[in-house]
Amino acid sequence: MQAFEHTPPEARELLKRPIRDLKLRIEGSPLEKFVKQLHEELLAKGLTRFRPACYLSDEWACPDREPIIGIPFYLADPKVAAIERSLNDLEDEREILMYLRHEAGHAFNYAYELYDTKEWIDLFGPFDRPYVDTYTPVPFSRRFVRHIAGWYAQKHPDEDFAETFAVWMTPRSAWKKRYAGWPALKKLEYVDRMARELANKDPTRPLAKALAEMPVEEMATSLEDFYRETIPDEQRAISDLVPDGELEDIFTAGPAREGLAPAGTVLAAHAKTLTDKITYWTGIRRSLAKKLVETIVRRSRDLELFVDRSREAEQLLDMTVLATTLAMNYLQRGKFDEK
């Protein structure tokens, strides 16, 4: 696991403190504007009686059959967010709204108990299907919408509905045009119809009685222990990746000379773009794509590899294909290589 020494000094002093003692709140935090925007978007869609509450928790979540939205606590404080950014990956404004719309889909499903109706089950599948963390999606399947990375709609019928709802409610998503001819369009049309039918109806399951799960006020573990418990699986997946031979085939060996630029420096300059594209086209979690790119940058530096300026475009393309292939291996096999 990446050492905590890499976290910002001003944030490191918080590591030993119990999370509940940080007194984190949505009100007055950077999250407040996003929750407000979510509620405004729901109202703009005509849902006058559906305004799910949000609370701080250990992760993005909507407790089982409870119409309430959990938001990761680290997004409520810049210092804690800095720890998350240094150890894992931090959602930007676009991603925060994407996750909020997704969780709102769960909350809408639970509030009106749609998951228990025949039409919902016929469209999305049985709600009581076993929920598993690992799944093998069919990339580019047109039976499902695309919203969160990882072909997430394919994970479970409940996630399929939440993703469909999120696409439907996203401003300017042009879902009718984008999904024209897709089997997934029937799901979007269902969400649209249900939203119109339920627009002015009170939820079957009262929002005010929704029960939060793992609220931040009850999180007695320290920040340090929280990250030691939640990050290792991801770190172990990355530790399996040492593409030295492939990198040496792509880039130019030293020593440094005219016409060569350090590969690590060149790749680092493109790291965010590479991470974004790998995430979008392969569907692996963005945090894993980021670690994958960081590992390649680090190994390129350790091996003292260089980009040949006369072949820079070719070498960057080769590296992108390599990283994408490694990511697809992980998506299909749960690991980056064959070891």
Residue pLDDT, tens place only, 226-251:
988 876 555 555 655 657 889 999 99
Looking at the structure, tell me whether residues 309 and 167 fall in a common domain. Answer: no
Q: Is residue 193 part of a domain?
A: yes
pLDDT digits (tens, 9 = 90+) for 305-322: 999 999 999 999 999 999
Looking at the structure, tell me whether residues 62 and 191 fall in a common domain. Answer: yes
Looking at the structure, tell me whether residues 67 and 182 fall in a common domain. Answer: yes
pLDDT digits (tens, 9 = 90+) for 62-107: 999 999 999 999 999 999 999 888 877 789 999 999 999 999 999 9
Looking at the structure, tell me whether residues 160 and 107 fall in a common domain. Answer: yes
Looking at the structure, tell me whether residues 196 and 290 fall in a common domain. Answer: no
- What residue numbers bound the domain in which 163 lies? 4-218
Instruction: Put residue 70 in one of left, alpha, beta given phi > 0 → left and psi -120 to 50 → alpha.
Output: beta
DSSP state at residue 155: S
pLDDT at 1 > cutoff 50: no
User: Average pLDDT in the 126-142 region?
Assistant: 87
What's the pLDDT at 133?
A: 76
**Degrees to nearest 5, angle at CA 39 with 197 and 195:** 15
pLDDT digits (tens, 9 = 90+) for 135-179: 778 888 999 999 987 789 999 999 999 999 999 999 999 999 999
**Boundary-marking domain end, from 163, 196, 218:** 218
Kindly report the pTM of this predicted structure.
0.85
**Boundary-marking domain end, from 218, 246, 267:** 218
Q: Is residue 15 part of a domain?
A: yes
Q: Is residue 223 part of a domain?
A: no
Looking at the structure, tell me whether residues 201 and 245 fall in a common domain. Answer: no
**Boundary-marking domain end, from 218, 253, 280:** 218
- Residue 217 CA to residue 188 CA, distance in Å, equals 37
Say what percent of the chain tops pLDDT 90. Answer: 71
Looking at the structure, tell me whether residues 165 and 195 fall in a common domain. Answer: yes
Looking at the structure, tell me whether residues 147 and 83 fall in a common domain. Answer: yes
Looking at the structure, tell me whether residues 197 and 238 fall in a common domain. Answer: no
Total of domains in the chain? 2
Angstrom distances, CA of residue 266 to CA of 151, 297, 305, 319: 30, 9, 11, 12
What's the pLDDT at 239?
A: 53
pLDDT digits (tens, 9 = 90+) for 24-56: 999 999 999 999 999 999 999 999 999 999 999
Counting every residue written for the chain, the total comes to 339
Looking at the structure, tell me whether residues 304 and 175 fall in a common domain. Answer: no
